[in-house]
Amino acid sequence: MAAIELDGVTKRFGDVTAVEELDLTVPEGEVFGFLGPNGAGKSTTINVLLDFVRPTAGRVEVLGMDPQRESVAVRKRTGVLPEGFSTYDRLTGREHVEFAIESKGADADPDAVLERVGLAGDGDRKAGGYSKGMAQRLALGMALVGDPDLLILDEPSSGLDPAGAKEMRDIVREEAERGATVFFSSHVLGQVEAVCDSVGILRDGKLVARDSIEGLREAVGTGATLEITAEGVTDDDLGAVRALDGVDAASTDGATVTVQCDSEAKTAVIGALEDAGVAVEDFSTRESSLEDLFLAYTEGEAPSDAATDAAGEEVDA
């Protein structure tokens, strides 16, 4: 059974479309990284899963239940680290954890929870005096209470220093080993790469890639990043490039064109640009990293249909 299933989910706020026709399945037991730049619609998607907002269209299932009609039942089995939350300033850290334990009807030791998230010794302090990172740890601790079947973590590393981000990843791994499904969002690939079984990349409310980390690495392994220096290139000139076989994505800042493609496609790319009337001054290639691929998906103009199709095939495979 799938832990999370989104089927044609669209969410509009007035005339702004935050999420459009999103299809996404996260199998049980998987650690899924939900990637995308800020404002791509990651938090809106998560808010739909938690029934904080209601989808304009589409079907949603979390742990086999409708999050709108069976909201409490869903949240009984889900641990959540929400985005844009704040703590109760006048309550101590321990009181927060105790409230989570009482709310979930769990049997846990608040001090053990605090220790696990690195807040041992801070439990008696009021949460109003916590730093952003400490508040983040506290909310993670509250999410972990009751050994949930599903963990939904929205930008869990924000506010954490590198050491804290590593502890966060360790906890995600421990939870996954216990058998929990972990769904977490980030705008930084590095935090996802090390722990995720698979990722989805969201951009402008649409899923532009859905693949396992290995699948992505393979795609990158055969690929290259082509950097072409050419004056006055507009995005319109790139249409022909994107239409080429073997090209994943192409973007430009006006002075350079960056293309993710198979190594064999290089000549065709240059040719296509020249055919479009672009004067190519210089070019260089290097082997693509995962980061390049991620940036290609999330920065610059929208990726080509070819890239989306390729990602789609990976999902089916």
Q: Which residues contact another protein (rule: CB under 8 A)?
A: 47, 50, 52-54, 71-73, 75-76, 80-88, 90-91, 95-96, 99-100, 102-104, 139, 142-143
- Shortest distance in whole angstroms from residue 82 CB to another protein: 4
Nearest Cα to 226, choosing from 206, 251, 201?
251
Angle between helices 162-178 and 132-144 (to 10 degrees): 10
- Shortest distance in whole angstroms from residue 76 CB to another protein: 4
C-beta closer to another protein: residue 87 or 260: 87
What is the rounded distance in angstroms from the CA atom of residue 204 to the CA atom of residue 22?
Answer: 11
- Shortest distance in whole angstroms from residue 103 CB to another protein: 4
Q: Which residues contact 251 (CB under 8 A, 6 or more apart)?
A: 238, 257, 258, 296, 299, 300, 301
C-beta closer to another protein: residue 52 or 283: 52
What long-range pairs does 171-177 form, CB within 8 A, spacing at least 24? 171/116, 171/117, 171/140, 171/144, 172/31, 173/31, 175/144, 175/151, 176/29, 176/31
C-beta closer to another protein: residue 88 or 214: 88
- Shortest distance in whole angstroms from residue 84 CB to another protein: 5
- Shortest distance in whole angstroms from residue 165 CB to another protein: 21
Q: Which amino acid is at 48?
A: V
Q: Which amino acid is at 154?
A: D
Q: Which amino acid is at 253?
A: D
C-beta closer to another protein: residue 142 or 228: 142
C-beta closer to another protein: residue 16 or 72: 72
